[in-house]
Amino acid sequence: MLIQCTKKVLDELKIKPSIVEEEDPLFSFHANVITINRRKVLVLMNDKNRYVIVLYGMKAKDWKRIDKLIIEAVRESFKIEFIKEEVMEQYIQTASTISFTKTKNRSFVAQLNKACDHVYFYERDLEPDKLI
């Protein structure tokens, strides 16, 4: 799985972006960090279908295990959307290794920013006791 990060996300992760060849858009996400109610929120947007996954209330310990959290968030989102278990497992097996790189182009970043605006709009629906 390819996570294409904004500078804010790369700063939070404290990593250098890797150089990765083109990945299937179904297994690629763009990521940004926003702040809502003094809590850090990681917004992931799929490149193929623009599906958004939100991780609300990220703490320092969560950034250290971000790989596992992203896989867990994808799994939880699939369950909420009633996607079959075997399809979910096949997707996760295919996308099990995660690499972080810079964003692809301005068009994707603009769409990601629009998704972040929607997260701000629906902030009342975010549950403070649940990360995903």
- Asked whether residue 10 is domain-assigned, the answer is yes
At 54, is the secondary structure helix, strand, or coil? strand
- Asked whether residue 20 is domain-assigned, the answer is yes
- Asked whether residue 132 is domain-assigned, the answer is no
| Phi/psi of residue 17, nearest 5 degrees | -65, 140
Mean per-residue pLDDT over the chain, rounded: 91
Domain range enclosing 115: 2-125
Q: Which residue has the tokens 């850090």?
A: 40
Confidence (pLDDT) at 130: 85
- Asked whether residue 130 is domain-assigned, the answer is no
- Asked whether residue 58 is domain-assigned, the answer is yes
Number of domains in the chain: 1
Q: Which two tokens stand for residue 48?
A: 């193929």
Which whole number is the average pLDDT over 74-87? 93
- Asked whether residue 131 is domain-assigned, the answer is no
Q: What percent of the chain has pLDDT over 90?
A: 73
Confidence (pLDDT) at 123: 85
- pLDDT of residue 112 exceeding 90, the answer is yes
Confidence (pLDDT) at 120: 87
- Asked whether residue 77 is domain-assigned, the answer is yes
This prediction's pTM = 0.91
**74: alpha, beta or left? (left if phi > 0; alpha if psi -120 to 50):** alpha
43-53 pLDDT, tens digit each: 999 999 999 99
17 — pLDDT class (breaks 50, 70, 90)? confident
128 — pLDDT class (breaks 50, 70, 90)? confident
